[in-house]
A and B are shown apart, each in its own frame.
Chain A
Amino acid sequence: MATALRVNMAVGANRSRAKDTPRRVLPGYGLTLGFTVLYLGFFVLIPLSTIFVKAAGLGWQGFWTTVTAERVVAAYRLSFLSAFYAALANTMFGFLVAWVLVRYSFPARRVADAIIDLPFALPTAVAGIAFTALYAENGWLGSRLIPFGVRVAYTQLGIVAVLTFVGLPFVVRTVQPVLENLESEIEEVASSLGAGRWAAFTRVLLPSIWPALLTGFTLAFARAIGEYGSVLFIAGNMPMRTEIAPLLVMAKLDQFDFEGAAAISAGMLIVSFALLLAVNALEGIGRRQEP
Chain B
Amino acid sequence: MSGVHTQSGRVSLAITESRAIRLGLIGIAVLFLGLFTVLPLVVVFVGALRAGVRIYLSSLRNPDALSALRLSITVALIVVPLNLLFGVAAAWAVAKFEFRGKRILTTIIDIPLAISPVIGGMAFMLLFGAQGWFGSWLRERDISIAFAVPGIVIVTIFVTLPFIARQLIPLMREQGNEEEETAVILGASGWQTFVRVTLPNIRWALLYGLILCNARAIGEFGAVSVISGHIRGVTNTLPLHVEELYNEYNSAAAFAVASLLSLLAVLTLVLQKFVGLHQSGERRSRKAGPEGSES
Cβ contact within 8 Å between A188 and B215: no
A36-B93, A54-B126, A103-B16 given as contacts; is B108 within 8 A of A126 (CB)?
no
- Interface positions of B from 62 to 86, Cβ below 8 Å from A: 85-86
A153 at the interface (CB under 8 A from B): no
Chain A residues closer than 8 Å to B120, beta-carbon distance = 47
Cβ contact within 8 Å between B115 and A233: no
Q: Which stretch in B53-61, B257-265, B286-294 binds the other chain?
A: B257-265
Q: Which stretch in B95-103, B136-144, B199-207 binds the other chain?
A: B95-103
Cβ contact within 8 Å between B119 and A246: yes
Chain A residues closer than 8 Å to B269, beta-carbon distance = 114-115, 117-118, 121
Cβ contact within 8 Å between B107 and A106: no
Cβ contact within 8 Å between B258 and A130: yes
Partner of B47, one of A24, A35, A133: A133
Cβ contact within 8 Å between B242 and A126: yes
Q: Which stretch in A59-67, A69-77, A268-276 binds the other chain?
A: A268-276
Cβ contact within 8 Å between B180 and A26: yes
Cβ contact within 8 Å between A122 and B261: yes
A20 at the interface (CB under 8 A from B): yes
Cβ contact within 8 Å between B126 and A25: no
Chain B residues closer than 8 Å to A269, beta-carbon distance = 115, 119
How near does chain B come to A80, taking the closest CB pair, in angstroms?
A: 12
Cβ contact within 8 Å between B218 and A44: no
How near does chain B come to A75, taking the closest CB pair, in angstroms?
A: 12
Cβ contact within 8 Å between A104 and B22: yes
* Main SS at interface, chain B: helix
B114 at the interface (CB under 8 A from A): yes
A116 at the interface (CB under 8 A from B): yes
A106-B26, A125-B242 given as contacts; is B93 within 8 A of A253 (CB)?
no
Which of chain B's residues has its CB closest to A46's CB?
B127
Task: Give the number of chain B interface residues (Cβ < 8 Å).
Answer: 102
Cβ contact within 8 Å between B41 and A118: yes
Cβ contact within 8 Å between A126 and B157: no
A96-B25, A124-B222 given as contacts; is B99 within 8 A of A226 (CB)?
no
Chain A residues closer than 8 Å to B234, beta-carbon distance = none
A16-B98, A93-B32 given as contacts; is B15 within 8 A of A44 (CB)?
no
Cβ contact within 8 Å between A25 and B16: no
A187 at the interface (CB under 8 A from B): yes
Cβ contact within 8 Å between B43 and A140: yes
Partner of A134, one of B43, B86, B96, B243: B43
Which of chain B's residues has its CB closest to A266's CB?
B119
Cβ contact within 8 Å between B185 and A28: no
**C-alpha spacing A103/B23, complex, angstroms:** 12
Q: Which stretch in A143-151, A209-217, A257-265 binds the other chain?
A: A257-265
* Main SS at interface, chain A: helix
**C-alpha spacing A23/B16, complex, angstroms:** 55
Cβ contact within 8 Å between B44 and A126: yes
Cβ contact within 8 Å between A36 and B105: yes
Cβ contact within 8 Å between A112 and B15: no
Partner of B265, one of A123, A258, A261: A123
B210 at the interface (CB under 8 A from A): no
Chain B residues closer than 8 Å to A127, beta-carbon distance = 40
How near does chain B come to A224, taking the closest CB pair, in angstroms?
A: 10
Chain B residues closer than 8 Å to A203, beta-carbon distance = none
Cβ contact within 8 Å between A27 and B184: yes
How near does chain A come to B157, taking the closest CB pair, in angstroms?
A: 6
**C-alpha spacing A229/B223, complex, angstroms:** 9
Chain A residues closer than 8 Å to B112, beta-carbon distance = 44
Cβ contact within 8 Å between B33 and A115: yes
- Interface positions of B from 176 to 231, Cβ below 8 Å from A: 177, 180-181, 184-185, 189-190, 193-194, 212, 215-216, 218-222, 225-226
Partner of B40, one of A33, A35, A165: A165
How near does chain B come to A198, taking the closest CB pair, in angstroms?
A: 10
- Bitwise, A15-58 to B at CB < 8 A (1) or not (0) is 01001100011111101110111011001111110110010000
Cβ contact within 8 Å between A165 and B43: no
B2 at the interface (CB under 8 A from A): no
Q: Which of B15, B132, B180, B272 lies at the interface centre, i.e. has the most chain A CB atoms within 10 A of its CB?
A: B15
**C-alpha spacing A74/B232, complex, angstroms:** 33
Chain A residues closer than 8 Å to B22, beta-carbon distance = 104
**C-alpha spacing A141/B180, complex, angstroms:** 57
Cβ contact within 8 Å between A39 and B86: yes
Chain A residues closer than 8 Å to B29, beta-carbon distance = 93, 96-97, 100-101, 112
B254 at the interface (CB under 8 A from A): yes
**C-alpha spacing A51/B115, complex, angstroms:** 13
- Interface positions of B from 240 to 295, Cβ below 8 Å from A: 240, 242-243, 246, 251, 254-255, 258, 261-262, 264-266, 268-270, 272-273
Using A96-B28, A129-B242 as known contacts, list a sample of 4 further A-B pairs with CB atoms less than 8 Å apart, ordered by residue number in A. Answer: A33-B99, A96-B25, A126-B44, A250-B225
Interface residues of B (CB under 8 A from A): 11-12, 14-17, 22, 25-26, 28-30, 32-33, 36-41, 43-44, 47, 85-86, 89-90, 92-94, 96-99, 103, 105, 107-120, 122-127, 131-133, 154, 157-158, 161, 177, 180-181, 184-185, 189-190, 193-194, 212, 215-216, 218-222, 225-226, 238-240, 242-243, 246, 251, 254-255, 258, 261-262, 264-266, 268-270, 272-273
7 residue pairs, one from A and one from B, having the closest CB atoms: A226-B116, A123-B219, A229-B221, A47-B123, A27-B190, A228-B222, A130-B40
